[in-house]
Amino acid sequence: MDSLEKIVSLCKRRGFIFPGSDVYGGFAGTWDFGPLGVSLKKKIMDEWWKFFVENREDIYGIDAAILMNPKTWEASGHTATFADPLVECKECKSRFRADKIADGINESVTTEQFLATHTKCPVCGKENWGPIRKFNMMFTTHVGAVLPDDDQEIAAKNIAYLRPETAQGIFTNYKNIVDTIYPDIPFGLAQQGKAFRNEISPRDFILRDRECSQMEIEYFVNPKTWKDNFETMRELQHEFLETIMLLPKDKIHEYEVPEADRAHYSKRTIDFMFDYPNGEEELMGLAYRTDFDLTNIAKASGKSMEYRDKNTNETFVPHVIEPSIGVERLFLAVLSSAYTEDEIDGSKRTVLKLPANLAPYRFCVSPLLKNKPDLVAKAKEVYTKLRTKYGNVTWDDSGNIGKRYRKQDEIGTPECIVIDFDTLENNTVTVRNRDTAKQKRVSIADL
């Protein structure tokens, strides 16, 4: 079993992540987060928000609606360009994203280029392909009273899309923010929320799914200073990933995206790649979107998107630097970096060496024996005090103490606190460290 399979197994076994609609046999490209997964995911999102919003004076938060006026996606170019290269096997009728099943090609691949790779169908093993077709990944829905027997003209008037990114909700609120709080430029707007992409072939666990969470910032700058602002934002991404998420520096790589592969709105893009268990994959992107979005909104809405600098009186349409990261991709990067197999006292164990600020539980409190009322009562007292102080504290009195340690190691709890008979005598407890398995006596007052 390779390491990704082990992580997937651990996630289901310990309540981090389950297949979506699991009881009904699943639903491709969807995943449900269990109690431990929700906790880890929320901590990741909270740390990002604290780092980029709460600890800064130049970035503000917003929460835009998922359903937006369809003009949004016309002006942004999504209805025309948000597409992946789809190829269909003529033998078994399976459909794939062409650039993900063949080597040496990208999203702009032509039918001729794809056929020249002599790629065999991953399902039936045959080499009999149809032409490359562009497949728009936006999910469509209808808003209002649209009936199944309505004609296409009626239905088309009520069409809407599930947002494929959170960025456009920021851009459509740019004027609202400028008109209400008029921040000094440069300034950023940050948003966390769901995005939906109708992936042709979801794969690699939570790396490529149809429903995901995003964390994005649109940082509005004077076009004259975009290069300096881009570099500052690039350095901030490294600081967050390496010092807050504690991802290994040697697993993070920058890839300067060539012009042919960049999104239609980007003049420069750096993809931050990460060494996942299944190979190097994109973790996040940093893009220079110029004034593409605001200019298009101005054209489509007839409203000015200009900004007047308070200090210089200069008027211009701001340019934008955009760091964008998928929560699930960061979740898996954190989880795979923490996943460790080692040996303690001749016994093999699996341990998640999660940073204390991200671990679902900070402490686990246990009585040495659950059939001794005095120990249980004292342990409950300690548990209540720690839970009041830290919040994320768990209780475990099942099985022997060794099995409890192994369980807490596997879910990433940094320290286990055991109340034993000495506790009743001197008010000290045994504190056992997850990473080293070493134990020490600590006064309850010092916890």
Give me the domains of the chain, ranges plus CATH numbers: 3-70+174-335 (3.30.930.10), 361-446 (3.40.50.800)
Residue 142 CB neighbours (<10 A)? 15
For the range 143-149, what are the long-range contacts, defined as Cβ-Cβ under 8 Å and sequence gap of 24 or more? 143/67
The answer to whether the peptide bond before residue 186 is cis (omega within 30 degrees of 0) is yes
Average pLDDT, consecutive stretches of 10 residues, N- to C-terminus, the chain (447 residues): 85 95 92 96 98 97 95 88 88 92 88 94 95 90 79 77 94 96 96 93 87 97 97 98 97 93 88 95 96 95 94 94 97 96 88 96 95 94 94 93 94 96 93 95 91
Radius of gyration of the chain (CA): 26
pLDDT at 319: 97
Q: CA nearest 44: which of 270, 332, 269?
A: 332
What Cα–Cα distance (Å) separates residue 277 from each residue in 7, 8, 32, 191, 242?
9, 11, 21, 29, 18
pLDDT at 346: 83
pLDDT at 94: 92
Rounded (to 5) percent helix, strand, coil in the chain:
35, 30, 35
Task: Please state, in angstroms and rounded to a whole number, the distance separating the CA atoms of residues 183 and 180.
Answer: 9
What Cα–Cα distance (Å) separates residue 212 from each residue in 2, 163, 383, 428?
25, 11, 35, 45
Task: Please state, in angstroms and rounded to a whole number, the distance separating the CA atoms of residues 381 and 447.
Answer: 13
pLDDT at 345: 80
Residue 176 CB neighbours (<10 A)? 11
Give the 3-state secondary structure of residue 66: coil
pTM (two decimals): 0.90
pLDDT at 106: 84
Task: Please state, in angstroms and rounded to a whole number, the distance separating the CA atoms of residues 310 and 318.
Answer: 14
**Two tokens at 421?**
């008979």
Residue 137 CB neighbours (<10 A)? 17
Buried b / exposed e over 282-301, threshold 16 CB at 10 Å, is bbbbbbbbbbbbbebbbeee
